[in-house]
Amino acid sequence: MPDVKIITAAIAYDDPEAWHTYTLFYHHALYIPTMQRHLLNPNQMRAGDVIVNETHLVLLPYDLRNKRSHSIVATTEPHEELHIPLELEGVTSFFPTRVATRAEVEDTDNQ
């Protein structure tokens, strides 16, 4: 695609369990303004020590399912675990995000 920019992007993830907002930064992301969803590269996340369990729950035997199934798991400072459960839309895994505010992007305690 011509005119696709490669950017560093910041999005906000509101953790419903911890009642905490995390600002997630994606480096070397493709910027396609007409897209409604973000495309994340699982291998790029894995290279950054993020665990990506992308197998849909319906494809996992019940006895192999756990909290980390169909989710993204990352370690934050100071060594806390950020667990992002994935949802499905058709066959596509996703998690809800929103545009990060300037204050959230500049708040280094929530990244």
Q: 53-67: per-residue pLDDT in tens?
A: 999 998 999 999 999
Q: How many domains does the chain have?
A: 1
Q: Calculate the CA 65 to chain-centre distance.
A: 20
Instruction: Give backbone dihedrals phi and psi of 43, rounded to 5 degrees, phi first.
Output: -70, -35
73 has pLDDT over 90: yes
Please name the residue ranges forming H helices in the chain. 42-47, 102-106
Q: What is the pTM of this model?
A: 0.81
Q: What is the C-alpha to C-alpha distance for residues 44 and 62, in angstroms, rounded to an integer? A: 29
89 has pLDDT over 70: yes
**What pLDDT is attached to residue 38?**
73
Its domain, for residue 100, covers 5-110
